[in-house]
Amino acid sequence: MSRSQDSTPSWPTATAAGTGLREGRVLGRDIKRVDGPAKATGRAGYGHDQRPANLVFAQFLCSTTPNAEFTLDLAPALAVDGVVDAMAVAEGKTVHLGQPIAAVAAVSPQAAAEGVRALAQHGLEVTVLPHAISIEQAMAEGAPAVRRSGNVGRVRSSDEGDVEAGKQEALDAGGVVLTRTYEVPVQHHACLETHGMVVDYSGGEEATIWASVQGTFAMHDGPPEYLELDPSVVHGRVEHMGGGFGSKFGVGVEGRVACQLSKRLGRPVHLFMDRETEFHAAGNRSGNRVTVTAAMAPDGRITAMESDSLRLGGLSGGSYAGLPYVYTVANSKSAMRSVHTHTDGNRAMRAPGHPQASFGMEGILDELAYANGVDPLTARLANLPEDEWNGVWRRQLERVAREIGWYEHEHRTAPGPHEVVGANEVVVGIGFGLSVWGGGGSRGNEVELRVDRDGRVSVAVGTQDLGTGARTLVSAITAEEFGLDTGQVSESIGSTRLGRGNMSGGSVTTASLAPAVKDAAHKMSVVLLAKAAEATGVDVAELAFAEGGRVTGGGVDIAWKDLCSRLAATGETTHGSWVRELQDSGVHGAQAAKVAVDLVTGHVEVLEMVCMQDIGFVLNHLAAKSQVQGAMVQSLSYALFEERLIDADLGLALNPNFESYKLANSTTIPPMKVLFDPEDERGVIGIGEPPAIPGAAAIAGAVHNACGLRLASLPLTPDKVLMGLEELRARG
């Protein structure tokens, strides 16, 4: 593409044959990750891997009771061979189960663990206080206070139209009114790399920190204060990290304590949470309980909805998108309250509040549809918003229905109780769900692009890569601009010594970073083509980059290295920043799930999932599909397996580890088809979160469609299926 001084950057516009999706020479295709070999061979250095000289290892002592007063004597820990320091983390009172109350640092992880055991056995005196773990305990009269403001937050409400009139409208037309309660449990982020950091401070004028955080420059918020240093001399590094999903926006208690220990000792400190501490003190996806009363007319329209939801965020407020979700209801009323318990506070987790709302909304829609004799696809189409996105969701729903085999499915409506057959029977069902999200970008990335006289190209920006492929995009966007391959572009990311990068959250990274890289590359192409025009006398408007970085047009053909050899000895450098016109916001998706339900064992097997998304220009099909499939796996795991279990009476965690906290694995993940909307002609939009929203609801809907059983709480375990089937048979 030719470049002139007044040209503006733009994405490729050519359409790939047979797909309708835009593609360039590199972008808009499957791009292999540039860091793939390093990760596959173990060469990639994560924060947890760092071992600077003279390193000590730190571990937390955590509270085993939800609510207690305590006194602490550090001497037993300090007496352990190899322990070099111990410090209090909390002062005299715990407020949640698993709260870190002390830290021990030692020359080895084993010695640190022994120091923690000595402290727990001989240095800790605890007075157990009454606690509130369950909703019922927290809301009971005279319940122990979780927060000074009370255990139940203020009511947030909305009121649209006339709910009673909407109910009557449905009944007058021969429709139905139903009241149901839906509940989802607390889900853990389950990041492979736990929360933590390595702080290398030896008492000098600067420090280096390797951390597992979702924002490289988050290490300038807190650590400089803890180390008593200016932020400019604190070097934060996040070259690789093992996942965050919304839980790692700040340095947390683990970062504060690591910095304080390093300053006290004048030597590097390695502090990463063990899995049990991670489950207790690193946040979670909040649970939710919602009671819904809704009315549907015989044509499938929901005419009224009233909901009362309880957000279960532990010490925090919880997240909930509210009802009605996605679909339009003319007459609606909602109330929402937070119920606080003596458990760790929730944090953002992949589309915070949306999967919870989706589960209740899709559930009541299905139940109303079946009660009216309307198939669930028709009911969804009947309640889509009457706006510019109606056609998008309609197209997506019909496409995933076709891909999953809905139109050939043997029953479009759920069987009644009398149709639930007996032994040796496996039944198949299909369910649906919709999602909506933002995903737009913003200012905050400062990209530096350099071309040297020998043809080397390097791009630098401080942004982090959570594992979603940001590093690859930096190379690919630059390579596309000059006709090069990604292997000819070197990238540097994840350092506070590079240009600023914004936090990764809300699916904003790609839409924030990509335009800034494109801007820097476009500016460089203008400079280089001007050099070519100057050298050849050809009008710059006739020149363009071709395969291999050659400059062609106007009868000239200049090789990439020949062009670069004309640069000054210092090479050329350009800087890029966010360009609003290169990104967009607002994504929509539809998912369908097919399941098999064994009526003898209660086992639910997901056979297939299909997702269709609109995400603007798809920069890297391989990475985008991976993002969508990863989100679908997470929602499948939410649907069938994941649930934090705490004995409410004893205040005892029952599954704070990967042995007893169940997750989806390779034996439970089915074929997952990902489709991108070919009619979406917008700029770049993020995709990390929306595909995580509707999967659990679609799977529950598929179980309902298979056997007539609507399970109103996650996970959909065999015991719930069997008990639910017995109740159906008893009623039938």
Beta-strand (E) ranges in 527-619? 544-545, 551-553, 556-558, 572-576, 587-598, 604-614
- Is the pLDDT at 423 greater than 60, yes or no? no
- Mind listing the pLDDT tens digit for each residue in 33-54? 999 999 999 999 999 999 999 9
Report the pLDDT averaged over residues 376-389.
96
Instruction: Answer yes or no: is pLDDT of 556 > 80.
Output: yes
Residues 6+ apart with CB under 8 A from 643: 185, 186, 187, 655, 714, 715
Mean pLDDT, the chain, integer: 96
Mean pLDDT of all residues in 80-95: 97
Span 211-223, average pLDDT? 96
**φ, ψ for residue 682 (rounded to 5)?**
-85, 180
Q: Dump pLDDT digits (tens) for 567-623.
A: 999 999 999 999 999 999 999 999 999 999 999 999 999 999 999 999 999 999 999
Quote the percentage of the chain above a pLDDT of 90.
Answer: 95
pLDDT, one tens digit per residue, over 483-528 is 999 999 999 999 999 999 999 999 999 999 999 999 999 999 999 9
Q: State the Cα angle at 534 between 531 and 536, rounded to 5°.
A: 105
Closest to 306 (Cα-Cα) out of 170, 185, 150: 170
Closest CA to 494 of 445, 537, 453: 445
| Torsion (CA) 37, 41, 46, 49 in degrees, nearest 10 | -160
Band (pLDDT 50/70/90 cuts) for residue 3 is: low
CA dist., res. 698 & res. 718, Å (int): 18
pLDDT band for 99, please (50, 70, 90 cuts).
very high
- Summarised one tens digit per residue, pLDDT across range 328-365 is 999 999 999 999 999 999 999 999 999 999 999 999 99
Note the pLDDT of residue 37: 96
Please state the rounded mean pLDDT for residues 182-200.
98
Give the distance, in angstroms, between the CA of residue 659 and the centroid of all CA atoms in the same chain: 23
Under the banding of pLDDT at 50, 70 and 90, the label for residue 730 is: confident
For residue 395, the number of C-alpha atoms closer than 13 Å in the C-beta half-sphere is 15
Phi, psi of 510 (to 5 degrees): -65, -45
Round to whole Å and give the CA distance between 162 and 143.
36
pTM of the model: 0.97
Q: Starting from the edge strand earliest in sequence, which strands make up the sheet with 556-558, in order? A: 544-545, 551-553, 556-558
Buried b (16+ CB within 10 A) or exposed e, 554-582: bebebebeebbeebeeebbbbebebbeeb
β-pair type (457-460, 489-492): parallel
pLDDT over 70, % of the chain: 98
pLDDT at 569: 96
Task: Give mean pLDDT, residues 13-29.
Answer: 93
The pair of three-digit structure tokens given for residue 681, joined into one six-digit string:
């002609």
Structural domains of the chain, ranges and CATH numbers in brackets? 47-62+68-129+189-281 (3.30.365.10), 143-187+286-383 (3.30.365.10), 395-402+414-439+584-732 (3.30.365.10), 441-576 (3.30.365.10)
Distance CA 701, CA 705 (A): 6
CA 650/CA 49 separation, integer angstroms? 37
Assigned token pair, 547: 């395969």
The distance of Cα 541 from the centroid of its chain, to the nearest Å, equals 44
